[in-house]
Amino acid sequence: MSLVFLNGEWCPIEDAKISVLDRGFIFGDGVYEVIPVYRRRPYREPQHLARLQYSLNGVRIANPYSNEDWSRHIQQIIERHSFEDQAVYIQVTRGVAPRNHPFPEAIAPTVFMMSNPLKRPSSEQVEHGVRAVSMEDQRWLHCDYKTTALLGNVLACQYAVDHQAIEVVQFRNGLLTEASSSNVMIVQDGCILAPQKNHLILHGITMNGVEEVAHRIEVPFEYTDISEEAVRTADEVWLTSSAKEVVAITTLDDKAVGTGKPGAVFKRIYTALQDDIAGYVAS
């Protein structure tokens, strides 16, 4: 039995109920976060809470809790689950009101948290890489807000599944954006290139983590416009996310990326990221 947090109360997931008029249900009017937890310690929690605040500001929902309160709730949900590595999910919607597009006045947001086992990449995926397919990015123009209105991402992910791939590599107007639930970056001549951090992509906490460890081990890292051509001729292409950490895309649209195996730069960054996680857990 999994315990979840709903509006300040803890209850078994089967008993957690919300109104059908919740604007999260009716309009997808809410935001969320997924925080990876290693050995019961939330990894990069301050960065996730800062991004939650950014998303809330973006859609104009007041943050229901201070960071101290969020930290306490996150710690409690971790303690209430038996598994060591968890994915803590936080969702805040605008709340419950009769269906009408404008913001209702003075309603309380709906706050929901659950925790599931963290699905880290398999050793097969780390060693051999994964398949991806490309598509035109068909989502809205505020992909920097982590909103629960994920239909565009869901359709993109299903496109990957329908093509025996695990992710999509999306382009908008000829430039790389991101995947359906991960960021995408490439390696060109030993340098890691990630798309500019603008409104067209989620500013991934793992992408920032890769930037940080790249500086630490002195691998050049740059945010820049990345053309479709650059992706198709890159030495390496990677996915990053809180669940995938970093994995190499070794097949894109049925063609080998680089040598068709996870590259040398991937191996260094993968190791540095694992060291960072291990260092954090031990600290």
Q: How near is the Cβ of 118 to ligand PDD at its closest, in Å? A: 10
Binding residue for ligand PDD (CB under 6 A) from 205, 231, 237, 269?
A: 205
Q: Coil, strand, or helix at residue 49? A: helix
Instruction: Count, in order, helices (H) and strands (E) of the chain.
Output: 8, 15
Binding residue for ligand PDD (CB under 6 A) from 181, 211, 214, 258?
A: 181
Q: Is 177 in the site for ligand PDD (CB under 6 A)?
A: no
Interface with ligand PDD in residues 90-149 (CB under 6 A): none
Place of tokens 């780390």: 126
Closest listed residue to residue 203, CA positions, set 182, 175, 231: 182
Interface with ligand PDD in residues 2-41 (CB under 6 A): 34
Place of tokens 């809470």: 49
Through-space distance between the first and last CA atoms of the chain, rounded to whole angstroms? 31
Q: How near is the Cβ of 180 to ligand PDD at its closest, in Å? A: 6
**By rule CB under 6 A, what count of residues binds ligand PDD?**
15
CA distances from 262 to 13, 163, 169, 246 (A): 39, 21, 17, 11
Mind telling me the catalytic residues? Answer: 146
Q: Is 55 in the site for ligand PDD (CB under 6 A)?
A: no
Pairing between strand 183-188 and 175-176? Answer: unpaired
Q: Is 178 in the site for ligand PDD (CB under 6 A)?
A: yes
Q: How near is the Cβ of 105 to ligand PDD at its closest, in Å? A: 31
Task: Round to whole Å and give the CA distance between 273 and 267.
Answer: 10
**Nearer to ligand PDD among residue 97 and residue 134 (C-beta):** 134
Binding residue for ligand PDD (CB under 6 A) from 16, 135, 243, 264?
A: 243
Residues lying near ligand PDD in the complex (CB under 6 A): 34, 153, 178, 181-183, 202, 204-207, 240-243
